[in-house]
Amino acid sequence: DLDRFKETNDCKGHQEGDRLLRAFAAALAGTARETDSVGRLGGDEFAALLIEAGPETAGSFLHRLHEKLPQEISASAGAAFLPTDDSEPEGLIEVADRRLYEDKSARAA
């Protein structure tokens, strides 16, 4: 999730917001392995499906992603894992979304 994306659109215009979305998408795609799938869920939210990845691999992925982001982009993340968090895709998204907002809150503090 791109931090302060609405603020960017409101203050700097939608062209700047679109530029940030494209830059983030490029960094995300450039971080993914051949076995991973990445995409935009909508708005400023993206997802990455990391195949056979546990917390350590996911953490490494996020670290590499943050290193590739231009300085003006700040992003928060949440993760969920099979089989421990939920067995249904919708449940995994809910778990990851909850953890995303925990990350956003920690960054704001």
Phi first, then psi, for residue 95 (nearest 5°) are: -65, -45
Instruction: Give the active site residue among 44, 85, 97, 103.
Output: 44
Q: Cα separation of 59 and 12, whole Å?
A: 32
DSSP 40: E
**Distance linking the first and last C-alpha atoms of the chain:** 17
- Provide the H-helix boundaries in the chain: 5-12, 14-31, 55-68, 89-108
24, 73 contact by CB (below 8 A): yes
44 classed as catalytic: yes
> Which residue numbers are catalytic?
44
